[in-house]
Structure formats: C-alpha cells, structure tokens
C-alpha cells in the first residue's frame, strides 16, 4: 500500500514564536541560557571576544549576518528561529520555508515516501514539529480501527491520538509507562524550544484521564527477549483484536536541511520488539495485500 500524504493546514501557530520586534540580543541571551552556556563559553566557541558578545546581548552592538549565523550555529538554534534572529538584527532571512506540497520539495517527499514504504510491514509515520501527522505507510491503518473520528480529522496530532481516551490509549497495555515516556519527551522539547504550541499540547495531554493499570501485569513481559529490550528502551505494547504486539520506536530526521519545513520533519518508525510481533506484522501485511 502506498504511503499516505496529507497537507497540514498552515496557520499562525507555524510562524516564529519569538516576536520579531524584540532585539536580537534578547533572542541570543534566551537561547544561550536555554543551552546553559556562559558568555565566556559561547564567545570562545564562536571565536569572538566576550566583550563583543556582551555588547550584542545588551544592544550596544549590532551583529553582522555572519555573526548571527555563527552564534546560532553554536547554540543549535532551529532554522525557523535563526530567521527570527536575523530579522531582529535587521537582516533578511536566509532559510526558505515552503509548504510541504511545494514543487521544490518534490525530491524530499519522494525520499520520505521511499523510507516509509521501505519500513513496511512495520508502521511508520512522518510528523512535523508539533507532532502533527504528515504521512504514514499502509502498516499504520490496522491500528486506527476503533479510534474516535474526531482524532482522525486533519491535522491529526499523533500524541493526542496515542494518549486520548478515545484514541489508542485504551489498547495500550503499558499505558502509564508509555504515557510517561511521551510526556517526558514532550516536556524536554518545551524546555529546549519554549514553543507555546507544544506547551499547550503538554498541558492538554497531562489532563487526560489515565486508567489504573499495572504495567507489571502485561503478559508480554514473559515473552522471550522482552526483558532484554526493556533494559534499554521503553516498549509500546498494544493490544489488537487477536494479538498483543510490542514495539521499539525510532526517530529519523533529514541530515543538514536548509529548508525550515524539512528541518522540522521527523519519521517515527515502530519496529518489532520480539519475534512474535515481527511474525504478526508480516501476517497482517499479507492480509492487506490479499484484500
């Protein structure tokens, strides 16, 4: 089955979340503090004087475009926010931001489709910076059966889909464990990027009711090899109509992108954590191909 690509509605939430009217020094200081770097450390790594960096942060000096980019690179600032810093310093943005359906991104979409299809029969999805679904392969479809239709209306947020009581949550056997893993991952993103959309999403997910389940009662824990997997990852255990499946999640991103949209895309793949799950996914793929 071909990967399914959906266009994500673009609205004000996708604009740089730092106001462009703020001085570039404020942007720089905030990112430096988020990265827990001193002025001395940043100055040394950027090959500038501490005095000059201090002048930039206090507004006594306006940095050149090259200096903004050099400092942003050392601070690992996302491309979207590098554009904001450039604008605040009086320079034009250098990183384009195209809609995902733009013809210029055709090669990237084709590459993403190849990756998604190549991962079958294992479920895989492509998501944007706010965890909205961009595309998926055909192996995801069986897991969406019974999910509330309101959760499948674009833009589909995969964290909401996973943890909402009307979503996959009721079929996740180790929900408390998996929920903690997802919320902690999201919490770290909020702390690093200070994105208000992610902050609102985190507050919403934390407000969902959580069934009182004991993860230790999961029968998958008795499978051969499960204990070895649990030693280094948090598995996702989900109950289908016939089988209990166990997955390891992995994340793939585009290497050194120069487009804002591409820099914010990620592919999440769910690989089998045991032989029984691998066999079940292969059987499910055969069933779909025969249908």
Q: Alpha helix (H) ranges present in 4-152?
A: 24-34, 39-46, 50-58, 65-74, 79-88, 106-118
- 3.20.20.120, 1.10.10.10, 1.10.260.40, 3.60.110.10: which CATH number matches 12-88? 1.10.260.40
pLDDT confidence of residue 230: 60
pLDDT confidence of residue 165: 94
pLDDT confidence of residue 225: 45
pLDDT confidence of residue 10: 40
User: What percent of the chain stands above pLDDT 90?
Assistant: 76
pLDDT confidence of residue 11: 41
pLDDT confidence of residue 211: 65
Q: Find out whether 139 and 132 touch, Cβ atoms under 8 Å.
A: no
The DSSP bridge partners found for residue 267 are 126, 252
Q: Which pLDDT tens digit goes with each residue over 186-232?
A: 999 998 888 999 999 999 999 998 765 544 444 444 444 454 556 56
* pLDDT confidence band for 288 (50 / 70 / 90): confident
Q: Which pLDDT tens digit goes with each residue over 237-254?
A: 999 887 999 999 999 998
Q: Which pLDDT tens digit goes with each residue over 48-88?
A: 999 999 999 999 999 999 999 999 999 999 999 999 999 99
Look at residue 116 and tell me whether its pLDDT is greater than 50.
yes
Q: 201, exposed or middle or buried, with CB in 10 Å at 0-12, 13-18, 19+?
A: buried
CA 26 to chain centre: 26
Give me the mean pLDDT over the 267-280 stretch.
Answer: 96
Give me the mean pLDDT over the 174-193 stretch.
Answer: 94
The DSSP bridge partners found for residue 5 are 135
DSSP state of 63: P
Domain range annotation of the chain: 12-88, 104-290
The DSSP bridge partners found for residue 244 are 239
Give me the mean pLDDT over the 113-127 stretch.
Answer: 97
pLDDT confidence of residue 229: 58
Average pLDDT of the chain, as a whole number = 87
Q: Which pLDDT tens digit goes with each residue over 6-37?
A: 444 444 333 444 444 789 999 999 999 999 99
Report cis status (omega within 30 of 0) of the bond before 121: yes
Least confident of 102-106, 187-191, 254-258, 268-272: 254-258
DSSP secondary structure, 223-262, as one string: STTHHHHHTTS--EEEE-SS-EEEEEEEEEE-SS--SHHH
Question: For the domain bounded by 104-290, which CATH number is listed?
Answer: 3.30.450.180
pLDDT confidence of residue 209: 84
């Amino acid at each position: 089955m071909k990967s399914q690509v959906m266009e994500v509605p673009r609205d004000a939430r996708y604009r740089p979340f730092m106001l462009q009217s703020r001085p570039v020094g404020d942007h720089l200081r905030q990112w430096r503090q988020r990265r827990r770097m001193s002025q001395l450390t940043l100055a040394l790594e950027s090959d500038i004087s501490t005095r000059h960096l201090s002048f930039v942060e206090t507004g006594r000096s306006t940095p050149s475009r090259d200096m903004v980019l050099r400092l942003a690179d050392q601070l690992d600032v996302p491309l979207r926010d590098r554009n904001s810093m450039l604008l605040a310093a009086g320079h034009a943005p250098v990183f384009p931001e195209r809609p995902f359906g733009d013809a210029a991104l055709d090669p990237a979409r084709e590459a993403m489709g190849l990756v998604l299809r190549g991962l079958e029969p294992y479920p895989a999805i492509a998501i944007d910076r706010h965890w909205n679904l961009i595309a998926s392969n055909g192996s995801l479809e069986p897991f969406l059966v019974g999910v509330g239709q309101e959760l499948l209306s674009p833009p589909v947020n995969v964290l909401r889909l996973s943890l909402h009581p009307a979503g996959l949550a009721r079929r996740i056997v180790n929900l408390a464990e998996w929920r903690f893993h997802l919320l902690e991952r999201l919490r770290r993103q909020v702390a690093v990027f200070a994105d208000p959309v992610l902050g609102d999403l985190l507050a919403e997910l934390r407000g969902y009711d959580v069934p009182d389940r004991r993860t230790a009662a999961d029968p998958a824990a008795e499978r051969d090899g499960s204990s070895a997997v649990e030693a280094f990852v948090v598995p996702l255990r989900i109950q289908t109509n016939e089988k209990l499946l166990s997955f390891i999640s992995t994340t793939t991103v585009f290497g050194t992108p120069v487009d804002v949209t591409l820099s914010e895309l990620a592919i999440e793949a769910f690989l089998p954590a045991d032989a029984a799950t691998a066999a079940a996914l292969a059987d499910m793929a055969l069933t779909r191909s025969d249908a």
